[in-house]
Amino acid sequence: MIRVAGRSVLMAGVQCLLVLFQGLLQAATSTAPFELKLRTRPQSQGHSRYMRSSPISQSLTIGRLARAADVGVETIRYYQDRKLLPVPESDGAFRYYPMGLVDRIRFIKRAQELGFSLEEVRELLQLEDGTDRASIRRVATDRLSQIEAKLADLKRMQRVLKDLLTECEHTRADLPCPIIGTIREPTTRPAVEAKRRPATS
């Protein structure tokens, strides 16, 4: 009786161990995908955070940035050399530029069209918020003075060229061309009257 009872207890213990082992085996096989999800999920979450902070979908490569701003790639690199545009860190094989740089490039080009030098453009970019009106007016006034001085030079050049064209038209063919003579020796222009063709009746 004692042997039978002991054997029964032993068999019951073995069955319990088998059940426990099967349970552990099922738990191990069922948690493997879960552990894989736990390992892969933070990676996708981190990528989403990066996309939110610097979304690639809203960024441009340098080629696309150039096309969007209607300039050449070399123009962008030149502006970067002149410290007018930032140089973003590379993300693998590419550098991604925010969309806002399109407006900045257009601002630079428009300022150049108005006659501002790149040094003045850099100063205007620092004043782009428009709050320091006095500094903005100072930069614009300096540029206006330079433009007016250039206009005065252009008007003087216009008068000289008109006079030279008139001289050339009325100078005899056997005499040197007054335009070429002025370019060669601008301080020794012969008198117009001595070089004009004789009037025909």
Residue 24 lies in a domain: no
Mind listing the pLDDT tens digit for each residue in 148-174? Answer: 999 999 999 999 999 999 999 999 889
Mind listing the pLDDT tens digit for each residue in 65-119? Answer: 999 999 999 999 999 999 999 999 887 888 999 999 999 999 999 999 999 999 9
Residue 128 lies in a domain: no
Total domains present in the chain: 2
**Contacts (Cβ under 8 Å, ≥6 apart) of 60:** 68, 96, 97, 98, 99, 101, 102
CA–CA gap between residue 126 and residue 120 (Å, rounded): 10
**Mean residue pLDDT across the chain:** 75
Q: Which of 3-7, 39-43, 116-120, 166-170 has the lowest mean pLDDT?
A: 39-43
Q: State the pLDDT at residue 12.
A: 57
Mean of the pLDDT values across residues 128-141?
A: 91
Q: Which of 24-28, 54-58, 77-81, 94-98 has the lowest mean pLDDT?
A: 24-28
CA–CA gap between residue 120 and residue 113 (Å, rounded): 13
3 state SS of 166 = helix
Other C-beta atoms closer than 10 Å to the C-beta of 149 total 10
User: Residue 4 corresponds to which tokens in the numbers above?
Assistant: 């039978």
For 72, phi and psi rounded to 5 degrees?
-90, 160
pLDDT greater at residue 63 or residue 195: 63
Residue located via tokens 């070399």: 74
Look up the pTM and report it: 0.55
Confidence of residue 124 (pLDDT cuts 50, 70, 90): very high
pLDDT greater at residue 56 or residue 65: 65
190: phi > 0 → left, psi -120 to 50 → alpha, else beta; which? beta
Q: State the pLDDT at residue 92.
A: 80
Whether the per-residue pLDDT at 120 is higher than 90: the answer is yes
Single residue among 83, 115, 147 that ends a domain in this structure: 115
Domain with 162, as residue range(s), is 158-195
CATH code, domain with 68: 1.10.1660.10
CA–CA gap between residue 67 and residue 31 (Å, rounded): 51
Whether the per-residue pLDDT at 45 is higher than 50: the answer is no
Nearest CA among 139, 154, 191 for reference residue 170: 191
CA–CA gap between residue 77 and residue 85 (Å, rounded): 8
CA–CA gap between residue 66 and residue 167 (Å, rounded): 50
Single residue among 63, 88, 115 that ends a domain in this structure: 115
